[in-house]
Amino acid sequence: MAEELIIPVGTDRKEIYDALIPQISGLIETESDLIANLANITAVLKEAFGFFWVGFYIAKEGQLVLGPFQGPIACTRIPFHKGVCGASYSQQKTILVPDVDHFPGHIACSSASKSEIVLPVFHKNGTVAMILDVDSDQLDDFSEIDAAGLQSILTLLERKL
Ligand code: SME
């Protein structure tokens, strides 16, 4: 396992995602423990992009339950249909929110969170295993570049589910 993350400097997000994908693949490929892999993925994303909050909510006990994350403390349980996380889970799709104040039902774990992107992670049988939630303290901080880059990372993870 590589001990050091190599993050290209002075490049755009697409190039950073491109550099991270093989490194994340290397990090998780020989580790079978799910929580360890989720923890390292959140650490990579936090270190590479400095996101305000990045973490997983795992579908269990009829709810989304907080999993490994990086950032300030967060809500521990989210109902399947509540907030951006619940919308991504129940609609089984990526949701990009440029301004959380304009998303009906947004759950404000922190008032500093201004925009976010949430992506579902699928089991092989097509059900949603968990969601990845990335929050920014800047408005309109996420684009299709993030949707594609994060999706590529989650595809690596889905192979191990
Ligand atoms: N923003 C989420 C809640 C989770 S926290 O932001 C970490 C939502 O509305 O679903």
Between 80 and 108, the more confident residue is 80
pLDDT of residue 2: 61
* pLDDT over threshold 80, residue 105: yes
* pLDDT over threshold 70, residue 79: yes
* pLDDT over threshold 70, residue 157: yes
Range of weakest confidence among 10-19, 63-72, 77-86, 141-150:
10-19
Distance 39 CA to ligand 1 centre (A): 18
Q: How far is it, in rounded angstroms, from Cα 13 to Cα 61?
A: 36
**Is the CB of 147 within 6 Å of ligand 1?**
no
Q: How far is it, in rounded angstroms, from Cα 159 to Cα 157?
A: 5
**Is the CB of 117 within 6 Å of ligand 1?**
no
Determine the residue of 76, 78, 101 to mutate for testing ligand 1's pocket, defined as the one with the most ligand atoms within 8 A of the Cβ atom. 78
Q: Give the rounded percent of residues in the chain with a pLDDT score beyond 70.
A: 99
* pLDDT over threshold 90, residue 135: yes
Domains of the chain (ranges, CATH numbers): 13-158 (3.30.450.40)
* pLDDT over threshold 90, residue 108: no
**Is the CB of 134 within 6 Å of ligand 1?**
no
* pLDDT over threshold 90, residue 67: yes
pLDDT of residue 1: 58
Question: Three-state SS string across 33-75, please?
Answer: CHHHHHHHHHHHHHHHHCCCEEEEEEEECCEEEEEEEECCCCC
Question: Whose alpha carbon is nearest atom 5 of ligand 1?
Answer: 109
Each residue's pLDDT tens digit, 14-28: 999 999 999 999 999
Average pLDDT, the chain: 95
**Is the CB of 114 within 6 Å of ligand 1?**
no
Q: How far is it, in rounded angstroms, from Cα 64 to Cα 81?
A: 10
